[in-house]
Structure 1
């Protein structure tokens, strides 16, 4: 996962941030659901 994230640094900052927030949101939901 870390490798793919590092590889996506070249993405448009806004796009990269959007993807990151989505992944974090899904991760947090999974933690809360547990």
Structure 2
């Protein structure tokens, strides 16, 4: 049970990072 929250936080952080990175790439592509 103690490992689940840590794993979830790690997964969420990764998902958020990927989402932001994807949006950043789209924004840069749109800017160019």
Q: Normalising by structure 2, what TM-score? A: 0.69
Larger radius of gyration: 2
Gaps of 5+ in 2: 1-6
The count of corresponding residues between Structure 1 and Structure 2 is 24
Task: Say what the alpha-carbon RMSD is for the aligned residues.
Answer: 1.4
Q: Report which structure shows greater RCO (CA 8 Å, sep ≥6).
A: 1
Q: Normalising by structure 1, what TM-score? A: 0.66
The alpha-carbon deviation at position 17 of structure 1 amounts to: 0.2
